[in-house]
Amino acid sequence: MATINLRDKLKKTRQTFKDKFEDFFHSDKDREEIIDELSETMILADVGISSTEKIIDALRQKSKKSDHFPRIKQILEEEIIKILSQYPSDFNLSADHSVVMLVGINGGGKTTSLAKLAYHYSQEGKHVLMVAADTFRAAAQEQLALWGRKLNIPVIKGQYGADPASVIFDALQSFRARQSDLLLIDTAGRIHTNINLMQELEKIRRVIQREIDEAPQEILLILDASTGQNALIQAREFLKFSGLTGVFLTKLDGTAKGGSVISIVEELQLPIKFVGVGEEEKDLLFFSSQEFVRALLS
């Protein structure tokens, strides 16, 4: 993981800030002009209106009228880090038998992200088992099976049309019998306004809770960063489903909307735990607010 260059992956969002910062360094704009222009830049980078306003208010309060750009930039960095680190990003796999569920709409990157986690933890020596709980989309099951073959990690699939909760029940028995360390569950992602999906997810969670103490340890909401503020609209539906522990933000590579990270944390009141920066199994990063801000702004 350490070899991925986040600065490089954030190139497009970074460019929006970089152009502006160069302009500030080479001009003698006063504090008010700088703050006004920063506000526009943040909106362009998809930081979102309410998070932008919050940051701008803090810039006004914490800077002096006579401050120049370097000081304002320092406050900007501190404020963004403050927002991003409000909720701890630790990934809780302390239990011997940990269960992790991934939820989110189709196409967001659930299956790919699951494979990335499976790869990472199997490289760390954990015995990992993956489950395809979307029994209505044969393609989703097949896609996970392909990953399983590529990564040499076992995959449990259900019968087409079977109750996903019963597939999970069987998977949990197998997880115990094999004495695996980590069970990763890929769930269905039919349109997010579908109430049945939320009920299905609740049912899966109840089955897991009943079968294994303190599980599921983590329920990650998969959000596609390239959709910017739209990711928030999708996410709100999933907030109706209880128990989310964090966000796995996908497709942060190549998007100019990376500023959405800030409003996602602020509005969903959830930490970002991982980011996806490509289509391969290795394209995974644990989220760090300091690293993110450094990669974006410095």
Going by C-beta distance under 8 Å and a sequence separation of 6 or more, which residues neighbour residue 259?
13, 16, 42, 45, 46, 47, 48, 228
CA 20 – CA 236 distance, rounded (Å): 32
Instruction: Rule CB under 6 A: say whether 9 interacts with ligand GDP.
Output: no
What is the x/- site pattern for ligand GDP, positions 185-204, by CB under 6 A?
----x---------------
Structure tokens at 147: 């990953």
Which of 173, 169, 110 lies closest to 137 in space, CA to CA?
110
Euclidean distance between CA atoms 139 and 134, whole angstroms: 9
111 is a contact residue toward ligand GDP (CB under 6 A): yes
Tell whether the torsion through CA atoms of 90, 224, 149 and 186 is positive or negative.
positive
Contact with ligand GDP (CB under 6 A) among 106, 166, 174, 288: 106
Contacts of ligand GDP in 277-296 (CB under 6 A):
277-279, 283
Is residue 253 close enough to count as binding ligand GDP by CB under 6 A? yes
Q: Is 227 a binder of ligand GDP (CB under 6 A)?
A: no
DSSP 8-state secondary structure symbol assigned to residue 12: H
Shortest distance, CB of residue 234 to ligand GDP, whole angstroms?
11
- Identity of the residue, 183 or 277, whose beta carbon is nearer to ligand GDP in the bound complex: 277
Q: Does residue 112 belong to the site contacting ligand GDP (CB under 6 A)?
A: yes
Cβ-based nearer residue to ligand GDP, 14 or 251: 251
Closest approach, Cβ 53 to ligand GDP, in A, equals 29
* Contact residue for ligand GDP among 110, 157, 192, 273 (CB under 6 A): 110
| Alpha carbons within 13 A on the beta-carbon side of 243 | 21
* Cβ atoms of 186 and 136 closer than 8 Å: no
Which residues are near ligand GDP by CB under 6 A?
104, 106-112, 143, 189, 250-251, 253-254, 276-279, 283
